[in-house]
Amino acid sequence: MKVLVLNGPNLGRLGTREPSVYGSTSYADLVALCEQAGRDLGVEVEVRQTDHEGEMVGWLHEAADASWPVVLNAGAWTHYSIAVRDAASQLTADLVELHISNVHKREPFRHTSYLSDIATAVMAGLGVAGYPLAIRWLAEKPGR
């Protein structure tokens, strides 16, 4: 089994980007955290990040065709991208929508998600620690 961890715009700047909101873990450290979770659990984990919506759409198509479960932090696209939603709707395995911050405690525009109603599960507010938890949940889900 392979878990694809997809990150949208600005998430490559983790560590320097608004550390009071997103913490001080760098994007490289986040990748290492996810890969370590994969090794601990015996599943392949691939982590990607893009600032380009079309690239994200293509990765979701790839995951749909391969039946890979996806952990998706779509960043700002969460709140307005019908294109990312339409691509995520085609997934053929589980989708975990993830946010580092608790979006519900933040500005009202972050309370809207175009993903939550098509996701298997939603995680928000656990910091980067949410990623290995999501990977663990997918890896240990009965039936896998």
- Footprint on this chain of ligand DQA (rule: CB under 6 A): 10, 73, 75-76, 78, 99-101, 103, 110
Cβ-closest residue to ligand DQA? Answer: 75
Closer CB to ligand DQA, 65 or 117, in the complex: 117
DSSP character at residue 106:
S
CB of 65 to ligand DQA, least distance (A): 25
Closer CB to ligand DQA, 32 or 76, in the complex: 76
The answer to whether residue 104 is catalytic is no
CB of 75 to ligand DQA, least distance (A): 3
Block residue for tokens 């019908």: 82
Instruction: Confirm or deny that 111 is annotated as ligand binding.
Output: no
CB of 59 to ligand DQA, least distance (A): 16
The answer to whether residue 114 is catalytic is no
Instruction: Confirm or deny that 135 is annotated as ligand binding.
Output: no
- Among 27, 99, 114, 131, the active-site one is 99
* CA–CA distance, 37 with 46 (Å, rounded to integer): 11
DSSP string covering 7-76: E-TTGGGTTTS-HHHH-S--HHHHHHHHHHHHHHHT-EEEEEE-S-HHHHHHHHHHHHHHT--EEEE-GG
Measured CA angle at 83 (ends 2, 72), to 5 deg: 30
Instruction: Confirm or deny that 79 is annotated as ligand binding.
Output: yes
Instruction: Confirm or deny that 117 is annotated as ligand binding.
Output: no
Among residues 93, 137, 83, the alpha carbon closest in space to that of 115 is found at 83
Residues of each annotated binding site for substrate: 73, 79, 86, 100-101, 110
Give me the active site residues, please: 22, 99
